[in-house]
Amino acid sequence: MEYSEQLIQQVWEKARVNADVEMAQWREDECGAWIAREHYRDTSSNFGWLILNVSPGGPDILENLRPFNHRNSYDIANQNAQCHVTADRTDLPPFEHSPDYLRNRDV
């Protein structure tokens, strides 16, 4: 599905903000996986993300759309996120979330 730039931005804004990184560029999906704003639809990127409709048979309107790392998904029947990747905070210095340290790992 092709979405307008305005709707893409609105869905992006539904992702979790982390105060330690630039919120215009970095967010976390429902699984806690890092996503990068500029990597929308980039499935070759570790930070690529897609817009998923989480409403059974519902229209593609903002209320039904959520941002997910391209490796994560949503089980519409059971109404829950299917987390295959999440942020990797292993061996990070305390409170360090600069883009140099951002990474995801398999769940």
In order along the chain (107 residues), what is the average pLDDT of each group of 10 residues? 95 93 94 98 98 96 98 96 93 65 87
Local structure of residue 93 (DSSP, 8 states): P
The H-or-E segment that residue 6 falls in is helix 5-12
Domain positions in the chain: 5-106
Cα–Cα dist 59/100, whole Å: 38
